[in-house]
A and B are shown apart, each in its own frame.
Chain A
Amino acid sequence: MSLISKLKSCTKQLAMTVLLTASQAHAAEPSPGVADDTIRIGVTGPLTGPVAVVGAVAEGIRARIEQVNAEGGVKMGDGKTRKIELVIEDDGLDPQRTLANVRKMVEQDEVFALVGTAATPNNLAIGRYINQKKVPNVFMYSGVHALNAPDWEIGFVPSFATEADSFAEYLKVGRPDAKVAFLYLNTETGEIFMKAFDRAIEGTSIRVVDRQPVTSQDPTVETQLNTLKASGADTLVIIAAPRQGGEAIRFQSESGWKPLTLVTNLSSAYPILQSVGLENAKGIITSDFLKPIVGDKKTDDKGIDLYLDAAAASKVNFNVANTIGQTGYAIGDALVQALEKLKEPTREELMKVVRNIDGWQNPLLPADIKITTKEGSDIFPIEALQLYQFDGQKYVPLGGTLDFEAETKE
């Protein structure tokens, strides 16, 4: 056979294969990944690499799911009880690898849905694909919620705007003429936060006197903080990744500045304060949607104990006081609740359920912080926060829950 005719036959074969796979895709059953006794769910996150801390989301989800499976599985709305098969992939936070993982999980492993996909750029990178394939991407771990596949995705953690509102709310009462200095992450995180904060303090006598950017790669942040200190501010707001946030918490104490320090929950977790030195963190204020957990000692809180049991049983690779891991567990629980409510195991039904949540409880969320969404008007599952102040040993609640239900604007 000559080369040309060989090539021709190859092309023909090629076209055939393509047509075949295309028709197969059409003939596939309506909800892939669902069998009578199992349902397959995909998770992708940075288990390795420079931001492997965020990989704790996947670990937390695993802990909750293994716990449910050990109890026999989820009793779903169609009357069948299914065990959840988790497919976990590592993307090193590289959006291109996230997309590759998601495609593999959808096309080869045939997952029913994705859960807890980490980081904004990564969720953006898979947006078009999940839209095309109509795969639910539920309870993303991203503080930005309005991304590019609105019909097939839903977030989980409060928007950075909600956190900004809670800080502004606190200052309006606690320090009505605060002079605020910002140390902000130079991504959308920082931008959304500051925009919301500026909007919230309009018409008050709170003033922002200086803003310094910080990147997640900065080895030290002394320079920015010295500039902020010299600005004459009496209030410091820290929006930064754990390392830089930790350095900032240490600086405000060590340098003798001692402003009123508000730290977003990106870098206020208890293990971070431990690395900084608990004494240095005394007095800082943060806001969170999770119950404060400082160690693996049992409490009288049923939800926390459930979590501690799961973390121990699954031998998770993070410190149980780590809020990222806790968030993962909470996401896992929300997934289980969503599956319980599915009247029929289809992807469309899952989206319908997670877009119309009416006040779910969660083992790691305080009783008055509930998960609520509304199709068409509210895409933010958690919009309430509790302020906490660190007393040198533990976080003490400050006032009541601040509820911004249906008020979030990004």
Chain B
Amino acid sequence: MSDGSRSRLVKFGLFAAAAVLLPLLLPGYALQQVCIAIAYAIAIMGLNLLMGFGGQICLAQGALFGVGAYVTAILNSDYGIHPIATLPMSATATALVGLVVGLPALRLQGLQLAIVTFGIAAAFPQLLLKMGGITGGVSGLPIDGLEAPTWVPVSPELWLYVVSQCCAGIAALLVTLMLFGDVGRALRAQRDNAQIAEALGVNLTKTRLWAFAGSSALAGLGGGVFAIITGFISPESFLAILSINIVIGSIVGGVTSVVGAFLGGLFMVFVPTWASDINLSLGNLIYGLALILIMMVARNGVTGFIEKWLSTILRRTADNTASVKETREELT
């Protein structure tokens, strides 16, 4: 077995074990927070596709997340559609919005794109308030509580967890498929060098718009899941800071990793809470320090750090087994 596939297998095994163990170990309220982390993780996966693989910076992922949440909420509370059934529609609608947001990316890059999209994130909550007739204004919208089907004997929290993990699984699958296909190759090519990629026949317009649509679809899916988990949404949940936090989650987790997206989501939800548990009035101070320290220790994100560490260990054990073998051979 090659080194790379072995480390991938170990990683996947650890991840699967964690996913199954979490609901066994955590009390209900913490499990709900994990569910929210998963919703964020779905949005981060989208951003990773766009930022990590596509090299396009989008600071409006939180706004797109909000679009998805509102589509789910409106379809559920105004039209009575079952919350889970709204998810494909949230993803599709958000993908369309994402295409519009992505249009400037055809001409703008880097810093400029970041700032224009940040503007969209800042304007989004005001837009929600302005469109109070549809969005319910500051009093927001309720979403039906999710009950497990009668044949599944689990608590509502666990059912939410299962549903959000399934959505995250679908998202991870989509991202992986997209990355291994032609789109993924074109995406990486234009990230590394747009001119050369274009010369080699990569259609920049199509590729970038695809990336935006895919990324936004995942943001929308994540938002829909978020709305279902919290059961109530209002503009306060989708302020500009959310977009920044999603970017932080993405980078802290590792911009080119699916597992990293989950770690990023958990980071977004739990680290601020833990920081304020350590000391109520110093919470944000600790959080800020944590952000800086993490990047200093793990400059390629936490997954990058773990991978490096894991491969060192694997190599060492591999060396050990090899040397054991050698000594045996010598003995015989």
Contact = CB atoms under 8 A, between A and B. Distances in A.
Q: Verify whether A and B have any Cβ pair under 8 Å.
A: yes
A223 to B, nearest CB: 15
A226 interface: no
B155 interface: yes
A21 interface: yes
B266 to A, nearest CB: 13
Nearest to B155: A18
A90 B236 contact: no
B280 to A, nearest CB: 6
Interface string B138-163: 11101001000000011100100000
Interface in A80-106: 88-90, 92-97, 99-100, 103-104, 106
Interface string B269-288: 10011001000110110000
Contacts of B232: 95, 124-125, 127-128, 148
Contact of A15 (B154, B236, B276, B283): B154
B276 A90 contact: yes
Interface stretch (B25-33, B215-223, B246-254): B25-33
Contacts of B138: 120-121, 187-189
B88 interface: no
Interface in B187-241: 230-232, 234-237
Nearest to A107: B29
Interface in A174-196: 186-189, 191
A124 B32 CA distance: 18
A120 B140 CA distance: 10
Contacts of B158: 14, 18
Contacts of B155: 18, 21-22
Given A108-B29, A122-B236, A317 B281 contact: yes
B137 interface: yes
A124 B140 contact: yes
A14 B154 contact: yes
B236 A93 contact: yes
A144 B142 contact: no
B63 interface: no
Contacts of B269: 100
Nearest to B240: A217
Contacts of B122: 217
Given A103-B32, A108-B29, A10 B142 contact: no
Contacts of A186: 126, 129-130
Contacts of A189: 138
A94 B284 CA distance: 14
B28 A121 contact: no
23 contacts: A13-B24, A14-B23, A14-B158, A15-B154, A47-B280, A47-B283, A48-B283, A48-B284, A49-B284, A90-B276, A94-B236, A96-B237, A100-B29, A100-B32, A104-B29, A104-B30, A106-B29, A108-B29, A125-B232, A148-B232, A186-B129, A188-B137, A215-B129
Given A120-B139, A122-B236, 16 more contacts: A13-B24, A14-B154, A15-B153, A21-B28, A21-B155, A95-B234, A96-B36, A100-B32, A100-B273, A103-B29, A119-B236, A124-B140, A144-B139, A186-B130, A188-B137, A317-B281
Interface of A: 7, 10, 13-15, 17-19, 21-22, 47-49, 88-90, 92-97, 99-100, 103-104, 106-108, 119-122, 124-125, 127-128, 144, 148, 186-189, 191, 215, 217, 317
